[in-house]
């Protein structure tokens, strides 16, 4: 499955699609990017007069790029519209804030993929190449 084909088949749409581009993908991992538009609704109330991207959204970006895109690639021809996707665990450490209009890069390294369960070591960097959050996450695709 090609990079653009993966993005087009993601089971998300705006405003909940958090994948702009996949820079690299193979059987060992994926690298992708997303830019946080300042007009996203969650910025209106998280934090008043000083908006910051919520950690749950950062986790979702890492899951969409680092688990779902990679899982679709690994499943290749067996992934289809009836494939169920579920996040099963996360352990993420948040190190720096992400602000509106920032572009982030997610780097995901496969730890294992068996019986439909994918576990990855995932890291998010800002444009200064600083790690903003990192950890492990797992999901299942059936």
Q: Residue 123 has which token pair?
A: 């890291």
- Name all domains of the chain by residue range, CATH numbers in brackets: 3-141 (3.10.129.10)
Active-site choice (3, 46, 103, 117): 46
> What's the confidence (pLDDT) of residue 85?
87
Based on DSSP, count helices (H) and strands (E) in the chain, helices before strands.
3, 6
> What's the confidence (pLDDT) of residue 83?
82
Phi, psi of 80 (to 5 degrees): -150, -175
Q: What is the pLDDT of residues 61-118, one digit of tens each?
A: 999 999 999 999 999 877 777 788 899 999 999 999 999 999 999 999 999 999 989 9
Instruction: Tell me the C-alpha distance between 72 and 70, whole Å.
Output: 5
Q: Which of 90, 36, 24 is nearest to 63 (CA)?
A: 90
What percentage of the chain exceeds 90 in pLDDT?
81
- Residue 46 among the catalytic residues: yes
* 15-29, 39-53, 100-114: least confident range: 39-53
Instruction: Confirm whether pTM is higher than 0.75.
Output: yes
């Amino acid at each position: 499955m090609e990079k653009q084909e993966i993005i087009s088949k993601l089971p998300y749409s705006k405003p909940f699609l958090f994948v702009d581009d996949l820079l690299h993908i193979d059987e060992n991992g994926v690298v992708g990017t997303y830019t946080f538009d300042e007009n996203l609704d969650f910025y209106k109330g998280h934090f008043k007069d000083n908006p910051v991207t919520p950690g749950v959204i950062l986790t979702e970006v890492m899951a969409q790029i680092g688990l779902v895109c990679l899982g679709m690639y690994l499943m290749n021809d067996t992934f289809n519209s009836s494939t169920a996707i579920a996040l099963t665990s996360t352990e993420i450490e948040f190190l720096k804030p992400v602000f509106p209009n920032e572009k982030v890069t997610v780097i995901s390294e496969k730890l294992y993929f068996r019986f439909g369960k994918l576990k990855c070591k995932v890291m998010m960097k800002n444009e200064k190449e600083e790690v903003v959050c990192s950890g492990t996450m797992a999901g299942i695709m059936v």
